[in-house]
Amino acid sequence: MAYRQYQDVRDHRIYAYLNQKELDAFLEAMRIQDLAIQGKAARQMIVERSQQIIAEHRKNNPQSAMKQTVKYHLPHGGFTVLNPTKQ
């Protein structure tokens, strides 16, 4: 059976990963954010939480943030240039 609109499809995978308390909290968060599709809501919440974790880690550990470099190899030798826009 093929569905023409994804909104009509229920994503039952979420029920397998969450217990009832977690599922209730997830559905409440979906309702607050006016999200109807569970797959889209889960993806959005996971991405937002991942970005929060990365930002918090980089704030607490600034030395772990990678600095982008560009390496030039010239005939007489090579050198490395730090990209000041990405620091």
In a domain, 72, yes or no: yes
**Structural contact between residues 37 and 10, judged by C-beta atoms closer than 8 angstroms:** no
Identify the three-state secondary structure at position 56.
helix
**Structural contact between residues 39 and 11, judged by C-beta atoms closer than 8 angstroms:** yes
In a domain, 1, yes or no: no
31-67 residue pLDDT tens: 998 888 877 888 888 889 999 998 998 888 866 656 6
Domain range holding 27?
6-86
Residue of higher predicted confidence among 49 and 87 = 49
DSSP state of 23: H
- Cα–Cα distance, 25 to 72 (Å, whole number): 52
In a domain, 12, yes or no: yes
The count of domains in the chain is 1
The closest of 1, 19, 10, 16 to 41, measured between CA atoms, is: 10
Global confidence as pTM? 0.51
